[in-house]
Amino acid sequence: MTLQESRPRRPCRSNRLWIRLILRSPPGGGGGAVAESVAQSQSGLARKPSASDKAPTASIPGAEVGEPPPKPQESETPLQVFRAGSPSSKQIALTFDDGPHGTITPRILDMLRERQVKATFFVLGDRVKHYEWVLRQIVAEGHEIGNHAYSHRILKFMSNDLIDREIAETQSAIRNAIGYETRLFRPPYGDFRPDTRAVFRKYNLEVILWSVDTLDWKLRNRDKIFNVAINDTHNGSIILCHDIHRATLEAVPDILGSLIAKGYEFVTISQLCGLPPMRLASVSAPPPPPPQTP
């Protein structure tokens, strides 16, 4: 039984957070990357007032007319959420979620290596512990690792304590595999509550979403996946794929070939978003031979 057959799960869908677009000039170059600040949620959960809310015009006991609104506390600093890079550059980022997979991920790595393309893999903690050698190969070949939580549950329905545990256990699994933790986090389904930003900050995580959803989780068809990827990709695109589907594996070579022919340069998320480079892994030894997978 393949992984996707044994592990049905809802795909990463576009988040439903109400977001306020801002432009950010991150450190280390890459200015122009598009980041968003999370202001409030439409999830139906308790809504916290934000600093951007209009002050009420009705009189408030004890308040003076014209009193300036209170300054936001440091903790109210908007969370940066990256969805794309600079639209003025032909750089794009290919990302793979929900792995690592024991056979599909290594074959994708072969395809990336043949075309000298760098990508970013958002991994699940409960997969990493079974495929540490795959993570070491990913990093040894110059790609990046991101945290995609431990069990792929919907964060907005979880307490922050449980989310903290999901993130911590995945960071630990990644550290055990490659020697360091990641700064990149992609919430399952791209969804989370604004109040969870404190957990992300605790682990110094940047939240990375996407601008192109190849719909590979739904289409399961090589040609259809290819068409979505090619038609929707523009300068600065962050492309979402999943390295657990056979159809994705079949579509990747043509996606790479076509976008390279159009002049795009594939870079890692850190490069695309102007984030400091990930620390090089202490993974100098070649990865062990792949174990036999069922």
Residue 213 touches Zn ion, criterion: CB under 5 A: no
Nearest residue (CB) to Zn ion, 208 versus 283: 208
Nearest residue (CB) to Zn ion, 228 versus 244: 244
Residue 112 touches Zn ion, criterion: CB under 5 A: no
Minimum CB distance to Zn ion, residue 97 (Å): 4
Residue from 12, 79, 139, 259 in contact with Zn ion (CB under 5 A):
12
Here's the x/- map for Zn ion, 126-145, by CB under 5 A: it reads as: --------------------
Strand partners, 91: 265
CA atoms within 13 A on the CB side of 131: 22
Minimum CB distance to Zn ion, residue 138 (Å): 17
> Is 97 among the catalytic positions?
yes
Per CB under 5 A, the segment of 97-105, 112-120, 269-277, 282-290 that binds Zn ion is: 97-105
> Is 242 among the catalytic positions?
yes
Residue 97 touches Zn ion, criterion: CB under 5 A: yes
Nearest residue (CB) to Zn ion, 163 versus 283: 163
In the chain, % helix, strand, coil (3-state, to 5) comes to 35, 15, 50
Residue with tokens 């980022």: 93
Nearest residue (CB) to Zn ion, 97 versus 191: 97
Minimum CB distance to Zn ion, residue 98 (Å): 4
CA atoms within 13 A on the CB side of 108: 33
Minimum CB distance to Zn ion, residue 177 (Å): 19
**Two tokens, residue 57:** 């015009």
User: Residues binding Zn ion: what is the number (CB under 5 A)?
Assistant: 4
Q: How many residues does the chain have?
A: 294
The helix-helix angle for 132-140 and 104-114 (nearest 10°) equals 10
Residue 98 touches Zn ion, criterion: CB under 5 A: yes
Question: In angstroms, rounded to a whole number, what is the distance separating the alpha carbons of residues 109 and 111?
Answer: 5
Cα–Cα–Cα angle for 222, 139, 249, nearest 5°?
Answer: 10
- The CA–CA distances, whole Å, from 292 to 35, 102, 131, 160, 174 equal 42, 9, 11, 38, 22
Question: In angstroms, rounded to a whole number, what is the distance separating the alpha carbons of residues 238 and 190?
Answer: 13
Q: Restricting to residues 176-195, name those near Zn ion by CB under 5 A.
A: 188
Nearest residue (CB) to Zn ion, 215 versus 283: 215
Residue ranges with strand state E in 14-106: 18-23, 34-40, 80-84, 91-99
Nearest residue (CB) to Zn ion, 146 versus 188: 188
Instruction: Name 196's Cβ contacts closer than 8 Å, sequence gap at least 6.
Output: 155, 156, 160, 163
Minimum CB distance to Zn ion, residue 175 (Å): 21
Tell me the backbone φ, ψ of residue 24, rounded to 5 degrees. Answer: -130, 140
Question: In angstroms, rounded to a whole number, what is the distance separating the alpha carbons of residues 115 and 62?
Answer: 67
Per CB under 5 A, the segment of 6-14, 32-40, 125-133, 139-147 that binds Zn ion is: 6-14
- Residue among 101, 143, 148, 242 flagged as catalytic: 242
Residue 207 touches Zn ion, criterion: CB under 5 A: no
- Residue among 97, 98, 191, 216 flagged as catalytic: 97
Query: In a 3-state reduction of DSSP, which class is residue 67?
Result: coil
Minimum CB distance to Zn ion, residue 145 (Å): 14
Binding site for Zn ion (CB under 5 A): 12, 97-98, 188
Residues known to be catalytic: 97, 242
